[in-house]
Amino acid sequence: MDLGPHAAFIIASYAIVTIVMVGLVAWLILDGRRQQRILDDLEARGVHRRSRGADVAR
C-alpha cells in the first residue's frame, strides 16, 4: 500500500492513537485489579460491607 509522500504523518497519527487507546485500556484494567485486590484484602481481614448480604440475596 502506497501512503504517498506524507506517509510518516499518517503512520504517526495512527501510532499515537493506538498508543493512547491501548494505554488507557491497560490503565483501566490495572486500576480495576488494584481496587478489587484492596477490597479482597479488606474482606480477608473481616471488614465487610453492611449491604453485602443484601447484594448476595439479590
Residues 1-58 touching another protein, rule: CB under 8 A, are 1-7, 9-10, 12-14, 16-17, 20-21, 24-25, 28-29, 31-32, 35-36, 38-39, 42, 45, 47-49, 51, 55, 58
Exposure string (b/e) for 25-57, b if CB count within 10 Å is 16 or more? eeeeeeeeeeeeeeeeeeeeeeeeeeeeeeeee
Query: Using CA atoms, how far apart are residues 55 and 52, in angstroms rounded to an integer?
Result: 5
Please give the Cα distance from 3 to 18 (Å, whole number).
18
User: Shortest gap between Cβ of 43 and another protein (angstroms)?
Assistant: 8
Enumerate binding residues for another protein (CB under 8 A): 1-7, 9-10, 12-14, 16-17, 20-21, 24-25, 28-29, 31-32, 35-36, 38-39, 42, 45, 47-49, 51, 55, 58
